[in-house]
Structure 1
Amino acid sequence: MTEAASRRTRLAAVLAILVGGAIGIIGSTQTWLEATVDDGSAVPIPIPGTDALAVVAPLSLAALALALALTIVGRVLRYAFAVIAVALGAGLGWGAFRIASQRPVDAVAGPVTDATGLSGAQGIAGVVTEITATPWPAVTVAASVLIILGGAVALATAHRWTSAGRKYRTDRASGPRDSIDSWDDLSRGEDPTT
Protein backbone atom coordinates (compact mmCIF):
# COMPACT_ATOMS: atom_id res chain seq x y z
CA MET A 1 0.00 0.00 0.00
CA THR A 2 1.41 3.39 -0.96
CA GLU A 3 1.74 6.23 1.51
CA ALA A 4 -1.09 8.13 -0.24
CA ALA A 5 -3.38 5.11 -0.01
CA SER A 6 -2.43 4.69 3.64
CA ARG A 7 -3.38 8.31 4.33
CA ARG A 8 -6.71 7.91 2.54
CA THR A 9 -7.51 4.78 4.53
CA ARG A 10 -6.59 6.51 7.77
CA LEU A 11 -8.69 9.53 6.84
CA ALA A 12 -11.66 7.32 5.94
CA ALA A 13 -11.48 5.45 9.26
CA VAL A 14 -11.15 8.62 11.32
CA LEU A 15 -13.92 10.43 9.42
CA ALA A 16 -16.30 7.47 9.75
CA ILE A 17 -15.86 7.42 13.53
CA LEU A 18 -16.02 11.23 13.71
CA VAL A 19 -19.20 11.51 11.62
CA GLY A 20 -20.84 8.64 13.51
CA GLY A 21 -20.06 10.31 16.84
CA ALA A 22 -21.31 13.69 15.61
CA ILE A 23 -24.58 12.20 14.38
CA GLY A 24 -24.97 10.45 17.74
CA ILE A 25 -24.49 13.74 19.61
CA ILE A 26 -26.99 15.52 17.37
CA GLY A 27 -29.44 12.65 17.73
CA SER A 28 -29.20 12.68 21.51
CA THR A 29 -30.89 16.09 21.59
CA GLN A 30 -33.73 15.12 19.24
CA THR A 31 -37.08 13.50 20.02
CA TRP A 32 -36.73 9.71 19.75
CA LEU A 33 -40.12 8.59 21.04
CA GLU A 34 -43.56 10.05 21.67
CA ALA A 35 -45.63 8.60 24.50
CA THR A 36 -49.40 8.98 24.53
CA VAL A 37 -50.81 8.75 28.03
CA ASP A 38 -54.35 8.09 29.22
CA ASP A 39 -54.87 11.35 31.08
CA GLY A 40 -57.39 13.06 28.81
CA SER A 41 -54.71 14.92 26.84
CA ALA A 42 -54.33 14.21 23.14
CA VAL A 43 -50.82 15.70 23.03
CA PRO A 44 -48.08 13.02 23.16
CA ILE A 45 -45.12 13.48 25.49
CA PRO A 46 -41.85 13.93 23.54
CA ILE A 47 -38.96 11.74 24.73
CA PRO A 48 -35.50 13.07 23.79
CA GLY A 49 -32.66 10.71 22.97
CA THR A 50 -30.87 11.31 26.27
CA ASP A 51 -33.98 10.20 28.18
CA ALA A 52 -34.72 7.24 25.94
CA LEU A 53 -31.10 5.98 25.98
CA ALA A 54 -28.98 7.61 28.68
CA VAL A 55 -25.66 6.43 27.20
CA VAL A 56 -26.17 7.92 23.73
CA ALA A 57 -24.38 11.21 24.47
CA PRO A 58 -21.44 9.74 26.45
CA LEU A 59 -20.78 7.02 23.87
CA SER A 60 -21.00 9.52 21.02
CA LEU A 61 -18.64 11.95 22.76
CA ALA A 62 -16.22 9.10 23.41
CA ALA A 63 -16.31 8.22 19.69
CA LEU A 64 -15.54 11.85 18.79
CA ALA A 65 -12.58 11.98 21.17
CA LEU A 66 -11.34 8.60 20.01
CA ALA A 67 -11.45 9.65 16.35
CA LEU A 68 -9.36 12.73 17.09
CA ALA A 69 -6.89 10.74 19.18
CA LEU A 70 -6.46 8.20 16.37
CA THR A 71 -4.81 10.91 14.29
CA ILE A 72 -1.83 11.22 16.66
CA VAL A 73 -1.33 7.96 18.56
CA GLY A 74 1.26 5.32 17.86
CA ARG A 75 0.73 1.84 16.46
CA VAL A 76 -0.16 0.02 19.69
CA LEU A 77 -2.76 2.60 20.73
CA ARG A 78 -4.23 2.57 17.21
CA TYR A 79 -5.16 -1.07 17.70
CA ALA A 80 -6.52 -0.43 21.20
CA PHE A 81 -8.56 2.57 20.04
CA ALA A 82 -9.87 0.65 17.03
CA VAL A 83 -11.17 -2.11 19.30
CA ILE A 84 -12.71 0.51 21.60
CA ALA A 85 -14.37 2.18 18.59
CA VAL A 86 -15.95 -1.11 17.54
CA ALA A 87 -17.18 -1.67 21.12
CA LEU A 88 -18.56 1.88 21.38
CA GLY A 89 -20.37 1.52 18.07
CA ALA A 90 -21.79 -1.86 19.05
CA GLY A 91 -23.07 -0.56 22.39
CA LEU A 92 -24.61 2.52 20.83
CA GLY A 93 -26.13 0.51 17.99
CA TRP A 94 -27.62 -2.14 20.24
CA GLY A 95 -29.22 0.44 22.54
CA ALA A 96 -30.63 2.50 19.67
CA PHE A 97 -31.88 -0.62 17.88
CA ARG A 98 -33.67 -1.75 21.05
CA ILE A 99 -35.39 1.64 21.33
CA ALA A 100 -36.35 1.69 17.63
CA SER A 101 -37.67 -1.88 17.47
CA GLN A 102 -39.16 -2.50 20.92
CA ARG A 103 -40.15 0.99 22.08
CA PRO A 104 -39.82 -0.12 25.72
CA VAL A 105 -41.78 1.55 28.51
CA ASP A 106 -38.58 2.09 30.53
CA ALA A 107 -37.36 4.44 27.77
CA VAL A 108 -40.25 6.85 28.41
CA ALA A 109 -40.33 6.55 32.20
CA GLY A 110 -38.60 9.83 33.12
CA PRO A 111 -40.63 12.24 30.98
CA VAL A 112 -43.90 10.38 31.71
CA THR A 113 -43.18 10.59 35.44
CA ASP A 114 -42.47 14.32 35.07
CA ALA A 115 -45.73 14.86 33.17
CA THR A 116 -48.05 12.67 35.23
CA GLY A 117 -46.42 12.30 38.62
CA LEU A 118 -46.68 8.52 38.40
CA SER A 119 -43.62 6.39 38.94
CA GLY A 120 -42.72 2.73 38.87
CA ALA A 121 -42.79 0.40 35.91
CA GLN A 122 -46.35 -0.82 36.50
CA GLY A 123 -47.77 2.66 37.07
CA ILE A 124 -46.17 4.03 33.91
CA ALA A 125 -47.12 0.98 31.85
CA GLY A 126 -50.72 1.38 33.04
CA VAL A 127 -51.00 5.01 31.92
CA VAL A 128 -49.06 4.85 28.63
CA THR A 129 -51.40 3.84 25.80
CA GLU A 130 -49.03 4.17 22.84
CA ILE A 131 -45.33 4.73 22.14
CA THR A 132 -44.29 5.80 18.65
CA ALA A 133 -40.74 6.10 17.40
CA THR A 134 -39.32 8.93 15.31
CA PRO A 135 -36.54 8.30 12.74
CA TRP A 136 -33.80 9.32 15.21
CA PRO A 137 -33.20 5.90 16.81
CA ALA A 138 -32.72 4.42 13.32
CA VAL A 139 -30.42 7.31 12.38
CA THR A 140 -28.39 6.58 15.51
CA VAL A 141 -28.17 2.90 14.53
CA ALA A 142 -26.74 4.05 11.17
CA ALA A 143 -24.29 6.30 13.02
CA SER A 144 -23.19 3.35 15.13
CA VAL A 145 -22.55 1.34 11.97
CA LEU A 146 -20.25 4.14 10.79
CA ILE A 147 -18.35 3.99 14.08
CA ILE A 148 -18.03 0.21 13.84
CA LEU A 149 -16.84 0.38 10.22
CA GLY A 150 -14.32 3.09 11.05
CA GLY A 151 -12.99 1.01 13.94
CA ALA A 152 -12.82 -2.11 11.77
CA VAL A 153 -10.92 -0.26 9.02
CA ALA A 154 -8.53 1.16 11.62
CA LEU A 155 -8.02 -2.28 13.11
CA ALA A 156 -7.30 -3.84 9.72
CA THR A 157 -4.99 -1.12 8.41
CA ALA A 158 -3.37 0.52 11.47
CA HIS A 159 -0.04 -1.21 10.83
CA ARG A 160 0.24 0.60 7.48
CA TRP A 161 -0.48 4.10 8.75
CA THR A 162 2.38 6.53 8.82
CA SER A 163 3.35 7.75 12.24
CA ALA A 164 2.32 11.12 13.56
CA GLY A 165 4.34 14.16 12.65
CA ARG A 166 7.50 15.37 14.30
CA LYS A 167 5.47 17.63 16.55
CA TYR A 168 4.23 14.61 18.55
CA ARG A 169 7.48 12.67 18.77
CA THR A 170 9.21 12.41 22.11
CA ASP A 171 12.51 11.02 20.83
CA ARG A 172 15.30 13.45 20.03
CA ALA A 173 16.97 13.03 16.69
CA SER A 174 20.75 13.20 16.66
CA GLY A 175 20.88 14.46 13.07
CA PRO A 176 20.81 18.03 11.79
CA ARG A 177 18.48 20.36 13.60
CA ASP A 178 16.19 22.93 12.02
CA SER A 179 14.14 25.87 13.25
CA ILE A 180 11.24 23.65 14.36
CA ASP A 181 13.59 21.71 16.63
CA SER A 182 14.82 24.99 18.11
CA TRP A 183 11.27 26.14 18.83
CA ASP A 184 10.54 22.78 20.45
CA ASP A 185 13.61 23.23 22.66
CA LEU A 186 12.39 26.70 23.66
CA SER A 187 8.93 25.30 24.45
CA ARG A 188 10.51 22.82 26.84
CA GLY A 189 12.49 25.62 28.49
CA GLU A 190 15.85 24.58 27.01
CA ASP A 191 18.39 26.84 25.34
CA PRO A 192 18.81 25.71 21.70
CA THR A 193 22.05 27.64 21.30
CA THR A 194 24.01 25.47 23.70
Structure 2
Amino acid sequence: MLRRARMLGVLSFLLAGGVGIISATQTWAAVQRADAGETLSVAGADAFPLLAPLSLAVLALGAALSIAGPVLRWVIAALGLGAAVVLLIGTVPLIGEAPLSAVAATVTEATGLGGEKALRDVVAAAPATAWPVIAVLCWALLAAAAVFVLATARRWPVVGRRYRTAPDAAQHRGGPLDAVDSWDDLSHGTDPTD
Protein backbone atom coordinates (compact mmCIF):
# COMPACT_ATOMS: atom_id res chain seq x y z
CA MET A 1 0.00 0.00 0.00
CA LEU A 2 2.81 2.42 0.82
CA ARG A 3 4.32 1.92 -2.63
CA ARG A 4 1.20 3.44 -4.10
CA ALA A 5 0.64 5.99 -1.35
CA ARG A 6 2.35 8.76 -3.29
CA MET A 7 0.33 7.98 -6.41
CA LEU A 8 -2.95 7.88 -4.46
CA GLY A 9 -2.21 11.19 -2.76
CA VAL A 10 -1.14 12.94 -5.96
CA LEU A 11 -4.07 11.61 -8.00
CA SER A 12 -6.58 12.59 -5.30
CA PHE A 13 -5.22 16.14 -5.16
CA LEU A 14 -5.23 16.40 -8.96
CA LEU A 15 -8.75 14.97 -9.28
CA ALA A 16 -10.18 17.35 -6.67
CA GLY A 17 -8.43 20.36 -8.22
CA GLY A 18 -9.46 19.38 -11.75
CA VAL A 19 -13.11 18.90 -10.85
CA GLY A 20 -13.01 22.21 -8.98
CA ILE A 21 -11.71 24.03 -12.07
CA ILE A 22 -14.31 22.37 -14.29
CA SER A 23 -17.14 23.08 -11.85
CA ALA A 24 -16.18 26.76 -11.64
CA THR A 25 -17.43 27.19 -15.21
CA GLN A 26 -20.59 25.11 -14.78
CA THR A 27 -24.06 26.24 -13.63
CA TRP A 28 -24.41 25.90 -9.86
CA ALA A 29 -27.79 27.62 -9.51
CA ALA A 30 -30.69 28.48 -11.82
CA VAL A 31 -32.32 31.70 -10.63
CA GLN A 32 -36.02 31.93 -11.40
CA ARG A 33 -37.13 35.54 -11.61
CA ALA A 34 -40.43 36.66 -10.10
CA ASP A 35 -40.81 39.56 -12.55
CA ALA A 36 -40.33 37.52 -15.74
CA GLY A 37 -40.21 33.96 -16.99
CA GLU A 38 -36.47 34.20 -17.63
CA THR A 39 -34.10 31.88 -15.80
CA LEU A 40 -30.58 33.08 -14.99
CA SER A 41 -27.67 30.65 -14.77
CA VAL A 42 -25.12 31.25 -12.01
CA ALA A 43 -21.69 29.71 -12.61
CA GLY A 44 -19.72 28.16 -9.77
CA ALA A 45 -17.09 30.90 -9.87
CA ASP A 46 -19.84 33.53 -9.49
CA ALA A 47 -21.59 31.70 -6.66
CA PHE A 48 -18.34 31.02 -4.77
CA PRO A 49 -15.52 33.37 -5.87
CA LEU A 50 -12.75 31.38 -4.12
CA LEU A 51 -13.61 28.23 -6.07
CA ALA A 52 -11.32 28.70 -9.08
CA PRO A 53 -8.25 30.07 -7.26
CA LEU A 54 -8.34 27.41 -4.55
CA SER A 55 -8.89 24.67 -7.14
CA LEU A 56 -5.83 25.89 -9.05
CA ALA A 57 -3.86 25.88 -5.80
CA VAL A 58 -4.93 22.28 -5.14
CA LEU A 59 -3.75 21.30 -8.63
CA ALA A 60 -0.38 22.93 -7.95
CA LEU A 61 -0.14 21.17 -4.58
CA GLY A 62 -0.82 17.83 -6.29
CA ALA A 63 1.94 18.45 -8.80
CA ALA A 64 4.37 19.49 -6.07
CA LEU A 65 3.44 16.47 -3.96
CA SER A 66 4.68 14.17 -6.71
CA ILE A 67 8.31 15.26 -6.18
CA ALA A 68 8.31 16.63 -2.63
CA GLY A 69 10.58 15.38 0.13
CA PRO A 70 9.32 14.20 3.52
CA VAL A 71 9.02 17.62 5.19
CA LEU A 72 7.36 19.26 2.20
CA ARG A 73 4.85 16.40 2.01
CA TRP A 74 3.54 17.40 5.43
CA VAL A 75 3.42 21.06 4.46
CA ILE A 76 1.58 20.25 1.22
CA ALA A 77 -0.84 17.94 3.03
CA ALA A 78 -1.57 20.61 5.66
CA LEU A 79 -2.20 23.21 2.94
CA GLY A 80 -4.43 20.73 1.09
CA LEU A 81 -6.41 20.06 4.26
CA GLY A 82 -6.83 23.80 4.84
CA ALA A 83 -8.01 24.29 1.25
CA ALA A 84 -10.48 21.41 1.64
CA VAL A 85 -11.94 22.96 4.80
CA VAL A 86 -12.33 26.39 3.17
CA LEU A 87 -13.87 24.85 0.05
CA LEU A 88 -16.29 22.76 2.12
CA ILE A 89 -17.35 25.78 4.19
CA GLY A 90 -17.98 27.78 1.02
CA THR A 91 -19.74 25.03 -0.94
CA VAL A 92 -22.05 23.35 1.58
CA PRO A 93 -24.43 26.38 1.88
CA LEU A 94 -24.92 26.28 -1.90
CA ILE A 95 -26.48 22.78 -1.86
CA GLY A 96 -30.25 22.69 -2.31
CA GLU A 97 -31.21 26.35 -2.53
CA ALA A 98 -28.51 28.92 -3.25
CA PRO A 99 -28.54 31.90 -0.86
CA LEU A 100 -29.29 35.35 -2.23
CA SER A 101 -25.70 36.48 -1.62
CA ALA A 102 -24.41 33.76 -4.00
CA VAL A 103 -26.63 34.83 -6.89
CA ALA A 104 -26.71 38.58 -6.25
CA ALA A 105 -23.95 39.51 -8.72
CA THR A 106 -25.57 37.62 -11.59
CA VAL A 107 -29.04 39.02 -10.85
CA THR A 108 -27.68 42.57 -10.51
CA GLU A 109 -25.85 42.24 -13.82
CA ALA A 110 -29.00 41.00 -15.58
CA THR A 111 -31.50 43.40 -14.03
CA GLY A 112 -29.48 46.42 -12.99
CA LEU A 113 -31.07 46.25 -9.55
CA GLY A 114 -29.01 46.29 -6.40
CA GLY A 115 -29.65 45.95 -2.72
CA GLU A 116 -31.05 43.05 -0.76
CA LYS A 117 -34.70 44.17 -0.75
CA ALA A 118 -34.80 44.74 -4.52
CA LEU A 119 -33.13 41.41 -5.19
CA ARG A 120 -35.54 39.57 -2.89
CA ASP A 121 -38.42 41.01 -4.91
CA VAL A 122 -36.85 39.83 -8.18
CA VAL A 123 -35.66 36.33 -7.18
CA ALA A 124 -38.47 33.81 -6.83
CA ALA A 125 -36.20 30.80 -6.27
CA ALA A 126 -32.60 29.77 -6.82
CA PRO A 127 -32.45 25.95 -6.88
CA ALA A 128 -28.97 24.48 -7.04
CA THR A 129 -27.82 22.01 -9.66
CA ALA A 130 -25.83 18.84 -8.93
CA TRP A 131 -22.47 20.64 -9.20
CA PRO A 132 -22.26 21.79 -5.57
CA VAL A 133 -22.86 18.19 -4.44
CA ILE A 134 -20.16 16.90 -6.82
CA ALA A 135 -17.79 19.57 -5.53
CA VAL A 136 -18.47 18.68 -1.88
CA LEU A 137 -17.66 15.04 -2.64
CA CYS A 138 -14.37 16.14 -4.22
CA TRP A 139 -13.52 18.34 -1.23
CA ALA A 140 -14.21 15.39 1.09
CA LEU A 141 -11.85 13.29 -1.07
CA LEU A 142 -9.25 16.06 -0.85
CA ALA A 143 -9.54 16.20 2.94
CA ALA A 144 -9.24 12.42 3.21
CA ALA A 145 -6.21 12.44 0.87
CA ALA A 146 -4.54 15.18 2.90
CA VAL A 147 -5.05 13.23 6.14
CA PHE A 148 -3.74 10.09 4.40
CA VAL A 149 -0.62 11.94 3.24
CA LEU A 150 -0.07 13.34 6.73
CA ALA A 151 -0.31 9.83 8.19
CA THR A 152 1.87 8.03 5.66
CA ALA A 153 4.28 10.61 4.16
CA ARG A 154 7.18 9.68 6.40
CA ARG A 155 7.15 6.09 5.19
CA TRP A 156 6.96 6.79 1.45
CA PRO A 157 9.80 5.44 -0.64
CA VAL A 158 12.59 7.86 -1.44
CA VAL A 159 12.41 9.63 -4.79
CA GLY A 160 14.40 7.84 -7.51
CA ARG A 161 17.88 8.73 -8.61
CA ARG A 162 16.63 10.66 -11.63
CA TYR A 163 16.26 13.68 -9.35
CA ARG A 164 19.80 13.47 -7.98
CA THR A 165 22.87 14.95 -9.58
CA ALA A 166 25.52 12.58 -10.85
CA PRO A 167 28.95 12.53 -9.25
CA ASP A 168 31.45 14.90 -10.75
CA ALA A 169 32.56 13.20 -13.95
CA ALA A 170 35.72 15.30 -14.15
CA GLN A 171 37.04 13.72 -10.96
CA HIS A 172 36.91 10.25 -12.52
CA ARG A 173 38.91 11.06 -15.62
CA GLY A 174 42.32 12.53 -15.88
CA GLY A 175 43.39 15.17 -18.34
CA PRO A 176 41.76 18.19 -19.90
CA LEU A 177 38.08 18.39 -20.80
CA ASP A 178 36.98 18.62 -24.40
CA ALA A 179 33.65 20.05 -25.65
CA VAL A 180 31.83 16.70 -25.42
CA ASP A 181 32.96 16.19 -21.83
CA SER A 182 31.77 19.68 -20.95
CA TRP A 183 28.31 18.97 -22.40
CA ASP A 184 28.19 15.67 -20.53
CA ASP A 185 29.06 17.45 -17.29
CA LEU A 186 26.24 19.94 -17.89
CA SER A 187 23.84 17.06 -18.55
CA HIS A 188 24.84 15.52 -15.23
CA GLY A 189 24.21 18.77 -13.37
CA THR A 190 27.79 19.83 -12.78
CA ASP A 191 29.41 23.06 -13.86
CA PRO A 192 32.44 22.29 -16.08
CA THR A 193 33.87 25.78 -15.48
CA ASP A 194 34.66 25.06 -11.80
- Asked whether the 8 Å contact 1:33–1:132 carries over to 2, the reply is yes
Evaluate the alpha carbon distance shift between residue 93 and residue 184 of structure 1 in structure 2; reply closer, same or farther with a 3 A threshold: farther
Query: 1:183–1:149: structure 2 CA closer, same or farther, 3 Å change rule?
Result: farther
Q: How many Å separate the matches in 1 of 2:88 and 2:184?
A: 43
Deviation per residue, 1:120-156 (Å, 9 max, x gap):
2222122111111100001000110111111111000
Q: 1:6: how far off?
A: 2.0
- Cα 1:167–1:133 change in 2 (3 A) is same
Larger relative contact order (CA 8 Å, sep ≥ 6): 1
Partner of residue 31 from structure 2, selected from 32, 35, 41: 35
Classify the secondary structure of the residue corresponding to 2:125. strand
1:94 Cα deviation (Å)?
A: 1.7
Partners of 1:49 and 1:134 lie apart in 2 by 10
Q: Does residue 82 of the first structure (1) align with residue 77 of the second (2)?
A: yes
Aligned to 1:92: 87
Matched, 1:159 2:160: no
2:145 aligns to what SS in structure 1?
Answer: helix
Name the structure 1 match of 2:179: none
Write the distance in 2 (CA, Å) between the matches of 1:167 and 1:82: 24
Partner of 2:192: 191
* Shift in Å, 1:164: 2.3
CA RMSD of aligned residues (A): 2.4
Give the Cα separation in 1 of the matches to 2:183 and 2:62: 28
Contact 2:14 2:62 in 1 (8 A): yes
How far did residue 109 of structure 1 move? 0.8
Q: Tell whether the 8 Å contact from 1:66 to 1:81 is kept in structure 2 after alignment.
A: yes
Show the counterpart of 2:138: 143
Structure 1 gap ranges (5+): none
Compare CA radii of gyration and give the structure with the larger one: 2
Equivalent position SS for 2:95: helix
Aligned to 2:98: 103
Structure 1 pair 95/183, CA: closer, same or farther in 2 (3 Å)?
farther
Cα displacement string for residues 26-70 of structure 1 (whole angstroms, at most 9, x for unaligned residues): 11110000111222x212100000000001111111111101100
Equivalent residue number for residue 176 of structure 2: none
TM-score of the two chains, using structure 2 as the length reference: 0.85
Counterpart residue identity of residue 131, structure 2: W
Which whole-Å deviations, capped at 9, do the CAs of 1:83-138 have from their partners, x for residues lacking one? 11111111112211111145210100111001100012222122111111100001
* Aligned residue number for residue 60 of structure 2: 65
3-state SS of 2:126 partner: strand
Aligned pairs, how many? 183
